Structure 1
Amino acid sequence: MSIVVKKIWHRDAYRIAVFFGYDSEKIRIVKTIGGKYSKTQSCWYLDYSADAYRELKKHFTDLSIENPKELQQTPSVTGNSRDLSPIAQSENQLDSLLANNPEHKVAVKPLAQQLRLILLDPIGKYWVFKMNYHYQISKSLLAIKGVYWNGNYKCYMVLRHPKVKEAVEALLETSPFFGEDYLSKEPNYKGEQIKITAHQEDTSWMEIHIPRIVAIHEKLKRFSMVRYSKVNQCYLLPAAPMVYEAVQLQMEPLEVLLLNALPKGYLQAKHLPNKKRLDLSATKQSMLDQVPAEGHEPLTKMLNTLLALNYSHSTMRSYAGAFIQFLRYFEFKNPESIAHQEIVAYLGSLMERGLSASSGHSMVNGLQFYYQQVLQLRGFEFKLPRPKKEKKLPTVLTMDECLRIFQMVDNPKHKLLLLVGYGAGLRVSEIVTLQWQDVLFDEHKIHIKNAKGKKDRMVMLPYSIVQSLKIYKDLYKGKHYVFEGQFAGEPYSTRSVQEVMREALKKSGLEKKATVHTLRHSFATHLLENGTDIRYIQQFLGHSSIKTTTVYTHLTKAAVDKIQSPLDRMVDLNNKKKLE
């Protein structure tokens, strides 16, 4: 597959455009030499320089340049040609061209103009703006306290505070950019009304009629199950008591009046869509969006089979993701026509590129599932080579190191979620989805529901944090989730929990690489060191097999300290003889 290069004008400068079909190895190489992908141009691109072209030639021998006839002509230093011939003819000529040709001397534009800053209407307590992506500036923006990236709307949200405004405007080299409408000058929506009525077409939904106010629109658009009806010109939400309460909570800070025009008994819990159903539907659609039309048929068959066998959305994502990569490699040809040896060669090429054993197993599992479950080729012996799994010991913190990390966290909510994770040995997903109804204070237990492998289990609720949890509950007034996110009624994100752990680890000065899951490993190891039976630890962690839990027997410091090296014994005996 040849690589075509071309000179283009992109992001206010000339670039070397690199065109080739999907190839993960070529993508990896282009990234290593500084390449970026342009959705607008549908290609990868590099800076228009001799160094960039040399790097391309160094890594790819099959380069071809668009308009080859023009390359036969000797390029003129003063010419106005816009092809890539200077690069093709000589890198030295390109250096000269860039130095002397006025065409290539692009005037340095102000940063705001380069970033194409666009200020949008403020939403609640935030200013909102968009800009072209710039790695360093984007990274610096998010490092400013009070600046957030909204992935849904692809925009930055800046807290309306004088210090935040000053820091952002200094970084963007644009002042003034935001207005003076700080939080103290937030408009009051008192007197505005939202009318909630029954939905005639389907009684499992309710209609939310709102005034033409951007802040209220944005509040409703954040609901994960919301739909907009163009016919009725209103938002639709499930007609469930929990959803109605969530709308009340969201509108309360805006002082907007809710007019409930629903018939008596219209709100019912059964109208609330099942979260599992929503997750599965979203996963299925996101997988289908990743492949062109010719790949839909085999992928749809696989997804439907996964759904029929009641696999979780995370397993769907893993298996389907592996299958999509497989289809791309063979350019979406019919999987039934691909020979066994071709598949083995494909897996071998992945491992050759440095794919981990765990990822290799996922690839094999996805392909085994398709050929055995979807195509029903059970009579056909389809044995794929399994990559040998690396036996890595998990990182474990000592009790003193855990204490140092907890002491670095000042925010009571952040400290408590880390304490719960360590004290009960929870996964990060179990921390964020923990609900108050599952915390059994009287029994000093926590009921973990529908965890990994669709299993429930009971874990300990540490006595030392019971009082703190009760105080926290009174302070934060959460109705459902123990650790609520930025918006009422929504769980805390796993990414935020990991960020809390990263900050605490950084402040503690520890050199170990640790995550929230490291606290779970530490919980198991410390229990084992304290003499707890390994089968109890297996139940606490929710492991299906005792083999998974036995890894912690290699990590217990107390057990290792009791074992003496034969060298130490030899030295001790020798010293003893000398004394005699």
Structure 2
Amino acid sequence: MQIIVKKIWHRDAHRIGLFLKYDNATNSQLRKMGAVFSKSLRCWYLDYNVFNYKLISQTFENLLIENPKNKETQPLAGLTPSRDLPDIATSKFQLDSSQQKNNPEHITDIDSLKTKMRLELLPNLGKYWVFKMHYFQTISKQLLAVKGVYWNANYKVYMAMRNAKVQEQVENILNISPFFPANDYYKNESVFNGEEIILQPHPEDLKWMEVYLPPYLVLREKIKRFSMCRYSTVKNCYLLPAAPSVYEGLLLQFEPHNVLLSNQLPKGYLMKQNLPNRKQLDLSQTKSRIFNQVPDAAHDYISQMVDTILALNYSSSTLQTYTSSFLKFLKDNQYRDPKTITQAEMTKYLASIMERGLSATSGHSIVNALQFYYQQVLKLKNFELSLPRPKKEKKLPTVLTMEECLQIFRVVDNPKHKLLLLIGYGAGLRVSEIVTLQWQDILFTEHKIHIKNAKGKKDRIVMLPYSIVNTLEYYRKLYQPNHYVFEGQFAGEPYSTGSVQSVMREAIKKSGLSKKATVHTLRHSFATHLLEGGTDIRYIQKFLGHASIKTTTIYTHVTKMATDKVTSPLDSLVDENNKKRLID
């Protein structure tokens, strides 16, 4: 097995990249060494240091180093020097603590540093200069120590306040002057007089309109926040639903910037029915993501499967899970016609992926996808697909005590954030059910909540805790939401599940708890505390919306009632021995 070794830049650092054809035995060796597989680069990689380089050269024999300058490869002989890995393969660079402190990236001169930083100045964002560069530990620490310099993790860029003092400090650290434009200091630039946003029809799909923006990052970032916004790389414009409410939203959002909205749409082009509902939007986005990953060889098979799933009114998550699992199956079988693949080959394939360390849940997903394709898509009713089901690992859910739940709620100051956690715990809701909760679903007089179209497209009735009724009414007066109980950044849009999880993570951090808990942990805790309080498990099943009582019975294994009453035989032995000593 021949392995090509490259120096690569991946995840903000240099790595040792290992490129090779698929081989199960070699992959197992790489995993034991701590190597990680990169799906984007299609290679295995390790941290860029001497230890890993020596480990690779000692473990594998047939190694080649690719020379990036002339794209040739040369065999390794022990620790043969290479222009691709100079600081690892040669011995003149020692990784002692003193050299790491002064030069962690093993760069010995300033000219080399300038070349390797790959500095790039991006368009201004409000009162900040925006720039990016390759990661260097020492330089990054010095930059972030400057007051007014920040790291934006979402866009992976540095943001520096546009004033003279910050400019001087940053340019001194980078040892490049001038780097920022001269006298480009922050003034109130929220007004863009003379600029215009152009709206044009989208001939490919008349339900959408094309939005052309001036080249200002502030305006572009603002339009990205529209939940249904898409970007067309072909036309270099943004696409939004051609609906009157969206047009009104554009007017409201860009009015403070004094940007002219040039409406070049034909009369009657904007129609209310062009605004997709959430289900339609989720399905269309999921479908688009799927076909972006499907090669031509598998297009017909996946297209038939997608059409069948949509016709059966399955959810977008089922669509994503089934198609991705089936696509993996096709890929591993060289995109052969599924009709020609025998059950024996399917069983062998399933055994091979389990041997590779795939989780039981992923194995079940593949089995379900195959069952669906052969029975529902190909309509092979007489064809009995009997595949072995991978045994699932039996894991107990993480559960918080009542005291720990109270500790979490106490550290949350924002009323909206506190209420969504309280209602998630108090009613045992999933995070998706929290964000899609509407005011019309809360039955105040009956002290109940009507959960609609939940997992499995099922409705259910859950309790509305008496203790949060007054809080809910006060919250409604304070925030005045219209449709959803917890609205997102824009009116009429629900709060995102990611934001709810972020609220929970911050609350766990502030509370000082060592347990790894999510919003779903509150749901587990709700069920466990009800069971400990003596509630019949069948009622708990209805509150949680479980189709089978077997799913609910897992909470019987984590309740304190089941464990506190049982005494260890060791404790009994010690107690008996102590009694004998007292008697003697």
TM-score (norm 2): 0.76
Aligned to 2:2: 3
Amino acid at match of 1:517: H
Unpaired runs of 5+ residues, structure 1, are 71-79
Partner of 2:396: 393
1:75 equivalent in structure 2: none
Q: 1:20 aligned to 2:20?
A: yes
Give the secondary structure class of the aligned counterpart of 1:122: strand
The whole-number CA distance in structure 1 between the counterparts of 2:320 and 2:466 is: 38
Distance in 2 between residues matched to 1:135 and 1:457, nearest whole Å: 53
Give the drift of 1:273.
1.4
Counterpart of 1:525, as a letter, is T
- 1:385 Cα shift? 0.7
Deviations 1:533-558 (Å, cap 9, x if unpaired)?
33332222111122222222333324
Aligned counterpart, 2:96: none
Secondary structure of the residue aligned to 2:459 is strand
Aligned to 1:121, the other structure's residue is in SS state: strand
Partner of 1:413: 416
* 2:296 paired with 1:281: no
Cα distance change, pair 105–475 in 1 and its aligned pair in 2 (3 A): closer
8 Å Cα contact 1:33-1:55 kept in structure 2: no
Q: Assess if the C-alpha contact under 8 Å between 1:126 and 1:157 holds in 2.
A: no
Counterpart Cα distance in 2 of 1:198 and 1:81:
49
* 1:272 aligned to which of 275, 286, 302: 275
Q: Distance in 1 between matches of 2:153 and 2:265?
A: 37
SS state at 2:76 partner: helix
Seen in structure 2, the aligned counterparts of structure 1 residues 146 and 531 have a Cα distance that, compared at 3 Å, is: farther
1:536 corresponds, among 526, 536, 539, to 539
Summarize deviations over 1:103-153 as a string: whole Å, max 9, x none.
x99756576753423232234576544445789999999999975444xxx
Map of 1:56 onto structure 2: 56
> Where do 1:451-466 residues align within 5 Å?
451-466=454-469
> Do the aligned partners of residues 302 and 499 (structure 1) sit closer, same or farther apart at CA in structure 2, a change above 3 Å counting?
same
Structure 1: distance between partners of 2:385 and 2:210: 53
SS at match of 2:517: coil
Does 2:310 align with 1:293? no
Q: Indicate whether 1:225 and 2:228 are aligned.
A: yes
Task: Tell whether the 8 Å contact from 1:142 to 1:149 is kept in structure 2 after alignment.
Answer: no
For 2:103, the equivalent position in structure 1 comes to none
Q: Output the CA distance in 2 between the equivalents of 1:84 and 1:442.
A: 76
Stretch deviating more after TM superposition (386-395 or 367-376): 367-376
Tell me by how many angstroms 1:169 deviates: 5.6
Q: Which moved more, 1:127-136 or 1:472-481?
A: 127-136
- The number of aligned residues is 558
SS in 1 for 2:249: helix
C-alpha contact 1:121 1:128 (8 A) present in aligned 2: yes
Q: Percent identity?
A: 56
C-alpha displacement of 1:515: 1.5
- In structure 2, C-alpha distance between the alignment counterparts of 1:425 and 1:209, rounded to whole Å: 45
Task: Encode CA deviations 1:423-462: one digit per residue, 9 max, x unaligned.
Answer: 2211122223334444444544333332211122233333
**Match runs of 1:566-577 below 5 Å:** none
Shift of 1:5: 1.5
Mapped contact 1:128–1:155 kept (Cα < 8 A): no
Map of 1:30-429 to 2, 5 A cutoff? 30=30, 33-34=34-35, 37=38, 51-56=51-56, 60=60, 63=62, 65=64, 85=74, 88-91=76-79, 98-99=90-91, 107=109, 113-124=115-126, 128-132=130-134, 147-150=151-154, 156=157, 158=159, 185-189=188-192, 204-205=207-208, 213-226=216-229, 237-251=240-254, 253-254=256-257, 268-429=271-432
Asked whether the 8 Å contact 1:193–1:211 carries over to 2, the reply is yes
Name the TM-score, length of structure 1 as normaliser: 0.76
* Structure 2: runs of 5+ lacking an equivalent: 94-105
Indicate the SS of the match to 1:185: coil
Corresponding residue to 2:505 among 479, 493, 502: 502
Rate the CA distance shift 1:89–1:332 in 2: closer, same or farther, 3 A: same
Secondary structure class of the residue paired with 2:293: coil
CA distance in 2, matches of 1:23, 1:158: 44
Distance 1:377 1:48 in 2: 53
Q: What is the RMSD of the two structures over their aligned residues, measured on CA atoms?
A: 5.1
How much has 1:518 moved relative to structure 2? Answer: 0.7
Q: CA deviation at 1:263?
A: 9.8
